[in-house]
Structure 1
Amino acid sequence: MKNLILTSFTLLFIYNLNAQTELQFKSGAPFLLGEIAQEHLEEPPYKNWFAPNFEKATIDQNLITPLAEKITHKKILLFMGTWCGDSKREVPTILKLLQQLNFPNNQLEIIAVDGRKEFYKTSPDGKATTFNLKRVPTLIVLENNKELNRIVETPIISWEADLLAILNQQKYVPNYTTNRIE
């Protein structure tokens, strides 16, 4: 019986490490932490910024077909902060693009990182540290669990064009990279 209780507690603890949690800053402002889904962003208070930015996002329809052909069997990690202005501006566009690509939800992992000073840009599952996260949003394209490349904070050209360059394995140097050539 003791082992059953301990096993149940351990499983609950592990599940909670990977589950989305809503926390508050000292100011009382809420933020999400951990693995989330788009549906979480469509609920109050996040829908106040998500819905209008999703609605006004425009996607280059000329790039949808080539992107859809190349993105098959890739995995995307999307690190964001529900407290971050750049994430509030860019994530709705990213998610609208993925929706138009019919990108499978089981190949997308959205990870909301911490905004508190003592845990800044960390995630409960440790992936923010594993992937050397510095800025949000950061979109990382994986193939066979290996990083192909990433788009950091904002795209160089557009989310569609930058993602296509990565998928075509063209030379792509994300923002804030020390050897970035303009």
Structure 2
Amino acid sequence: MKIKETPLKDCYIIEPTVFEDDRGYFYEKYNEKKFEEITGLNGHFVQDNISKSSYGVLRGVHLQKGEHAQAKLVSCLEGKVYDVAVDLREDSPTFGKWFGIELTLENKLQLYVPRGFGHGFSVLSETAVFAYKCDNFYNKESEGGVLWNDEDINVDWKLPLEDVVLSEKDAVLTKFSEHNF
């Protein structure tokens, strides 16, 4: 397992060690002990989520606030997504900045998104199955988010605007400038 830094403080790309031969491949998707040794971060996750989406679906930018904040370890199990993390920690040197990475079954990369970050992804393939491990349980009253097309953050979702498919909830999230994180 290799850990690569991103331009955002405390946000990491996880690259597994893959063993391939003529039968196929094997890799350890997650190992709490190795994760904690390599990153120095708490790798205890309590909830796994899976979503399946069609091309153009954009989910985000979501976050859990306060005592229900969640760190996430995300990956794509089928298809291709453009995954985005936004640093929403006001005391962070990278506050208001975003980082994006393509996640696919083929590249097997994962992104560690720490607590206090917003998170979202867009589906670039016909369909995609997306997985995320969370270190805290979901709490509806603590959910929040930033509008996907906020001009201050200016995320490039790698989709033509006419192809973007949003939920009603995501279409009305607040602007970054109006938010109290």
TM-score (norm 2): 0.32
Q: Rg bigger for which structure? A: 1
Structure (1/2) with the larger strand percentage: 2
Q: With CA pairs under 8 Å and 6+ residues apart, which has the higher RCO, 1 or 2?
A: 2
Structure (1/2) with the larger helix percentage: 1
